[in-house]
C-alpha cells in the first residue's frame, strides 16, 4: 500500500508541476483534480469528474470541469479516449514509453511494451512527429468469455 500511496503522490506532483510549467495557477481545485486522476484505477468521464469535484467544491460548474479536462489533455497531463459510452480521460503514463490494449466492455487497460512506430517505414519524411499514441481496442479474457457464453 505504501508504494501505491507514494506513486499517487508522485503522479499528483508531476501533474501539478506540468500545470505550473504551463503558467497555470495551482489552486486547491486543480490539486484535487490531479489527485482524482492519480488515484483513479481507470477512465473517468467528464460527468464522473464533475460529480466527484462537486462533492468538495459545490460551486464548481460542469463547464469549468470540462474546460480543465480539455486543457489538461492538450498539455499532455491527461489522455483522452472515445469509448463506447463517450469521451473518457485518464492520467497519462509517464514512467516509461508503452501503449495499451483497452477492453471495450469493462475498460480495463493492459499495457504492452512493443511500439509500432518502429515498424512504420512509409511515413512522410517532411512530417515532424512530436508524439504518438497507439491503442488496441477489444475484449479482455473475462469479457470475451462472457460474450462467448451469451452467444
- Residues making up the annotated binding site for Fe cation are 97, 132
- Binding-site residue positions for Zn(2+): 103, 106, 140, 143
Residue among 39, 36, 42, 50 at smallest CA distance from 105: 42
Residue pointed to by grid coordinates 511515413: 123
- Binding-site residue positions: 97, 103, 106, 132, 140, 143
**What's the rounded Cα separation, in Å, for the pair 84 and 61?**
25
- Sheet of 99-103, strand order: 109-112, 99-103, 135-138
**What's the rounded Cα separation, in Å, for the pair 58 and 51?**
9
**What's the rounded Cα separation, in Å, for the pair 31 and 14?**
11
What SS3 state is found at 112? strand
Residue among 11, 94, 77, 89 at smallest CA distance from 45: 89
Amino acid at each position: 500500500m505504501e508504494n501505491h500511496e507514494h506513486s499517487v503522490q508522485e503522479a499528483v506532483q508531476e501533474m501539478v508541476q506540468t500545470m505550473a510549467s504551463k503558467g497555470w495557477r495551482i489552486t486547491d481545485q486543480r490539486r484535487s483534480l490531479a489527485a482524482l486522476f492519480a488515484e483513479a484505477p481507470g477512465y473517468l468521464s467528464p460527468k464522473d469528474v464533475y460529480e466527484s469535484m462537486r462533492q468538495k467544491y459545490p460551486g464548481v460548474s460542469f463547464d469549468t470541469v470540462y474546460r480543465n479536462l480539455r486543457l489538461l489533455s492538450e498539455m499532455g497531463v491527461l489522455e483522452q479516449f472515445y469509448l463506447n459510452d463517450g469521451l473518457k480521460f485518464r492520467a497519462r503514463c509517464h514512467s516509461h514509453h508503452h501503449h495499451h490494449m483497452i477492453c471495450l466492455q469493462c475498460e480495463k487497460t493492459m499495457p504492452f511494451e512493443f511500439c509500432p512506430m518502429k515498424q512504420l517505414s512509409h511515413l512522410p519524411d517532411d512530417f515532424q512527429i512530436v508524439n504518438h499514441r497507439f491503442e488496441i481496442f477489444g475484449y479482455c479474457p473475462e469479457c470475451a468469455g462472457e460474450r462467448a457464453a451469451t452467444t
